[in-house]
């Protein structure tokens, strides 16, 4: 039977929705998450000369981003076709940035690990991988901000947030890796300070974006209401995962924990014990914030006042 | 396998349309729409669309406040926009715009990323997630043939029944006037609420209706310039 539909503001569910293909429809969010953390980790490891981090970013990029993204596609064997509209499509551009990043970072890491003395090639790969990592970090944000149909995403906030969250995620993974691999105290302290500033920046941007968007238009207001858990559609847990998971768990608690360590510049045993939960919470928060922003995208109703 | 020249023809350049060039469009008279969903069903039957795949949907709308409340029906499908967002977003080039204004999806080229569905302001696209049929074991010849035309893992949308139009034009028929060259939803509409024709021809039925009854388009603010016009339930000044 065909149901007569009554439409108000509709939340998009083509991405990050419950699809009919089981786990394959759930693969987009891990792809977006690892697509941010992997280049973020690469950049932070590159600047701190942390080889295990470079290897981890490569693994995350291939297994975390590449494989999950392929699984999400309806026809994964045709993924190469995604490169055919680079002139207009942000997905095409994203695939291009990812391919550039994967190839150049792989060559750079392998040459670095082997200790090869091919200065020119290493220099070229280092810079190509750095630039492509920066572009790869920001592309999902641009992909969202160019969607005219969903007013909530139509702003410069999305690329900025995606970029900062990626760097934050990379730093968090690198600090967590410090438990298993030796990471100099000086480097840890520097990363913690950068991370602290990034957390505050993301919190300020996110909260001010929510306030501004809620004042801007009806569709944006509906999206903000969804994130705050005061929209009827949030019976699927919309408000809880954003407010509790992304804002409180992912930003406020890590900020409080890092504040202790930033104030006491020496990393004692106790403060080290605080780093790992803070970084874990931060990573979960990044995932949930992205998930929330994507699920909160609402279309305006189709019917005009006639 | 298409050569490079044929591939270039798949991406027609917008050269500005002359009156000689056809631009197919549709007019929907909201005064006549009963909300019976015959258009939805006839489309599904003709194209062999499985459960979950809808090319035309009829939305029930309520507006106003008591005691001045109105209810009406709003058929929505692909608007075959002049500036389609889906065409720009599609990374593979599977979404194409023909010179006559019809926007199509080549399922042989689609990789199923669903970005086109996200960017469409009218939510006019369906993703064929799994193979499903209404009567999997008792399909007739027509159903079996039509179902087989759709690929799982790709996008589906209204294409104005372009195979009927192309076939009709080849036989010298006029789309919008001759039923054999007109989309199924138009010829099956029991309220005669749907009109199809050439928007570039000022004397066509659709152009006259738009002119005389001040046809309007949905979500003009998005700037996609749809080829589907609606006629108000009220006479506009």
Q: Which chain A residues contact residue B117 at CB under 8 A?
A: 14
CA distance B10 to B26: 24
Tokens read off for B143: 């159903």
Q: How many other CB atoms sit within 10 Å of the CB of residue A84?
A: 19
A191-223 tens-digit pLDDT: 999 999 999 999 999 999 999 999 988 899 999
A2, part of any domain: no
Q: Which residues of B28-48 are buried (b: 16+ CB within 10 A; e: fewer)?
A: bbbeebebebbbbebbbebbb
B237, part of any domain: no
* H/E element, A110: helix A90-114
A3, part of any domain: no
pLDDT tens for chain A, 306 residues long, are: 344 455 678 899 889 888 889 999 999 999 999 999 999 999 999 999 999 999 999 999 999 999 999 999 999 999 999 999 999 999 999 999 999 999 999 999 999 999 887 788 999 999 999 999 999 999 999 999 999 999 999 999 999 999 999 999 999 999 999 888 888 888 988 999 999 999 999 999 999 999 999 998 889 999 999 998 888 777 666 677 899 999 999 999 999 998 887 776 665 655 777 889 999 999 999 999 999 999 999 998 887 654
CA distance A161 to A142: 10
B10, part of any domain: no
CA distance B125 to B87: 13
B13, part of any domain: no
A189, part of any domain: yes
Tell me if A21 and B85 make a contact (CB, 8 A cut-off). no
For B9-13, the CB contacts below 8 A with 24+ separation are B10/B93, B10/B96, B10/B106, B11/B93, B11/B96, B12/B96, B12/B97, B12/B98, B12/B99
Which residue segment(s) compose the domain that B166 sits in?
Answer: 20-231
Tell me the nearest-neighbour CA distance from A29 into chain B, angstroms.
Answer: 13
A156, part of any domain: yes
| Among A131, A122, A63, A146, CA closest to A97 | A131
Q: Which chain A residues contact residue B76 at CB under 8 A?
A: 302
Total length of chain B: 237
3-state SS string for A203-244 = HHHHHHHHHHHHHHCHHHHHHHHHHHCCCHHHHHCHHHHHHH
Instruction: Using CB atoms, pick whichever of B111, B114, B155 lies closest to residue A82.
Output: B111
B31, part of any domain: yes
CA angle at B144 for the pair B44 and B116, rounded to the nearest 5°? 45
CA distance A276 to B227: 56
Tell me if B89 and A91 make a contact (CB, 8 A cut-off). yes
Tell me the nearest-neighbour CA distance from B209 into chain A, angstroms.
Answer: 17
pTM: predicted TM-score of the whole model, two decimal places = 0.89
- Domain total for chain B? 1
A71, part of any domain: yes
Q: Looking up tokens 């499509």, which residue turns up? A: A89
| Among A66, A73, A124, A67, CA closest to A97 | A66
Write the CATH number for A97.
Answer: 1.20.1630.10
Answer for the pair A41, A57: CB distance below 8 angstroms, yes or no. yes
A26, part of any domain: yes
Total length of chain A: 306
Q: Which chain A residues contact residue B224 at CB under 8 A?
A: 148
A69, part of any domain: yes
Instruction: Using CB atoms, pick whichever of A20, A85, A149 lies closest to residue B91.
Output: A85
CA distances from A48 to A56, A164, A184, A188 (A): 14, 18, 10, 10
B60, part of any domain: yes
Q: Testing the interface with B: which of A1, A23, A74 to mutate, by most B Cβ within 10 A?
A: A74
Write the CATH number for B28.
Answer: 3.30.70.20
CA distances from B155 to A136, A260, B104 (A): 26, 52, 10
Sign of the CA dihedral with B5 first, then B9, B11, and B12 last: positive
Q: At A201, phi and psi to the nearest 5?
A: -60, -45
pLDDT along chain B (237 residues), means of 10: 40 49 95 94 94 92 82 93 96 96 97 96 94 84 88 96 96 95 97 96 95 93 95 68
| Among B209, B112, B199, CA closest to B151 | B112
Helix, strand, coil content of chain A in percent (nearest 5): 75, 0, 20
Answer for the pair A53, B52: CB distance below 8 angstroms, yes or no. no
Q: Which chain A residues contact residue B63 at CB under 8 A?
A: 303, 305-306
Q: Testing the interface with B: which of A12, A139, A148, A216 to mutate, by most B Cβ within 10 A?
A: A148
CA A293 to chain centre: 11
CA within 13 Å, CB half, A304: 14
Q: Looking up tokens 């469409």, which residue turns up? A: B120
- The pLDDT value recorded for residue A237 is 62
A253-274 tens-digit pLDDT: 999 998 887 776 665 655 777 8
Q: Which chain B residues contact residue A297 at CB under 8 A?
A: 118
Which residue segment(s) compose the domain that A162 sits in?
Answer: 10-299
Q: At what angle do helices A28-48 and A185-216 cross, to 10 degrees?
A: 140
Searching chain A, which residue's CA lies closest to the CA of residue B120? A149
Tokens read off for A136: 């790869």
ω before B71 within 30° of 0 (cis)? no
- The pLDDT value recorded for residue A266 is 61
B2, part of any domain: no
B9, part of any domain: no
Give me Rg for the CA atoms of chain B.
18
B77, part of any domain: yes
- Domain total for chain A? 1
Instruction: Give the residue ranges of DSSP H helices in B52-189.
Output: 85-89, 115-119, 141-147, 162-170, 184-188
First vs last C-alpha separation in chain B: 55
A137, part of any domain: yes
Answer for the pair B58, B39: CB distance below 8 angstroms, yes or no. yes
- The pLDDT value recorded for residue A305 is 57
């Amino acid at each position: 039977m065909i149901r007569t539909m009554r439409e108000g503001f509709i939340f998009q569910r083509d991405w990050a929705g419950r699809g009919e293909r089981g786990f394959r429809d759930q693969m987009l969010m891990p792809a977006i998450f690892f697509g941010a953390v992997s280049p973020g980790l690469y950049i932070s490891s590159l600047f701190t000369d942390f080889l295990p981090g470079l290897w981890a970013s490569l693994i995350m990029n291939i297994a975390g981003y590449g494989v999950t993204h392929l699984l999400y596609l309806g026809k994964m064997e045709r993924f190469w076709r995604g490169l055919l509209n680079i002139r207009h499509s942000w997905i095409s551009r994203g695939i291009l940035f990812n391919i550039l990043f994967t190839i150049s970072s792989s060559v750079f890491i392998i040459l670095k690990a082997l200790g090869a003395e091919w200065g020119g090639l290493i220099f070229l790969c280092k810079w190509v991988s750095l630039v492509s990592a920066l572009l790869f970090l920001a592309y999902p944000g641009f992909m969202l901000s160019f969607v005219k149909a969903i007013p909530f995403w139509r702003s410069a906030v999305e690329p900025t947030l995606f970029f900062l969250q990626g760097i934050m995620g990379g730093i968090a993974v690198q600090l967590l890796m410090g438990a298993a691999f030796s990471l100099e105290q000086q480097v840890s302290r520097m990363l913690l300070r950068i991370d602290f500033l990034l957390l505050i920046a993301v919190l300020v941007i996110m909260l001010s974006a929510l306030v501004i968007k809620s004042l801007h238009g009806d569709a944006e207001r509906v999206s903000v209401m969804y994130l705050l858990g005061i929209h009827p559609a949030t019976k699927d847990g919309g408000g809880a995962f954003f407010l509790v998971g992304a804002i409180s768990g992912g930003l406020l608690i890590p900020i409080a924990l890092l504040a202790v360590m930033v104030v006491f510049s020496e990393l004692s045993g106790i403060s080290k014990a605080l780093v790992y939960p803070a970084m874990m919470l931060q990573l979960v928060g990044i995932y949930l914030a992205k998930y929330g922003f994507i699920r909160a995208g609402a279309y305006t109703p189709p019917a005009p006042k006639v | 396998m298409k050569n490079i020249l044929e591939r270039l023809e798949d991406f027609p350049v917008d050269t500005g349309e002359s009156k000689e060039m056809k631009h197919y469009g549709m007019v929907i008279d909201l005064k006549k729409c009963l909300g019976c969903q015959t258009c939805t069903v006839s489309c599904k039957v003709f194209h062999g669309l499985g459960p979950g795949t809808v090319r035309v949907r009829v939305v029930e709308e309520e507006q106003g406040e008591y005691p001045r409340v109105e209810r009406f029906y709003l058929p929505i499908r692909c608007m075959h926009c002049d500036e389609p967002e889906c065409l720009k977003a599609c990374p593979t080039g599977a979404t194409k715009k023909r010179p006559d204004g019809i926007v199509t999806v080549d399922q042989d080229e689609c990789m199923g990323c669903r970005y086109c569905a996200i960017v469409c302001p009218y939510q006019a696209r369906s993703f064929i997630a799994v193979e499903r049929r209404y009567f999997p074991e008792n399909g007739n010849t027509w159903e079996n043939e039509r179902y087989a035309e759709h690929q799982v893992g790709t996008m589906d949308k209204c294409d104005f029944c372009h195979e009927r139009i192309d076939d009709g034009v080849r036989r010298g028929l006029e789309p919008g006037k001759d039923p054999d060259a007109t989309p199924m939803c138009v010829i099956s509409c029991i309220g005669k609420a749907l009109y199809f024709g050439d928007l570039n021809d000022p004397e066509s039925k659709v152009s006259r209706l738009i002119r005389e009854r001040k046809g309007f388009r949905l979500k003009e603010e998005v700037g996609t310039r749809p080829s589907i016009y609606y006629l108000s339930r009220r006479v506009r000044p």
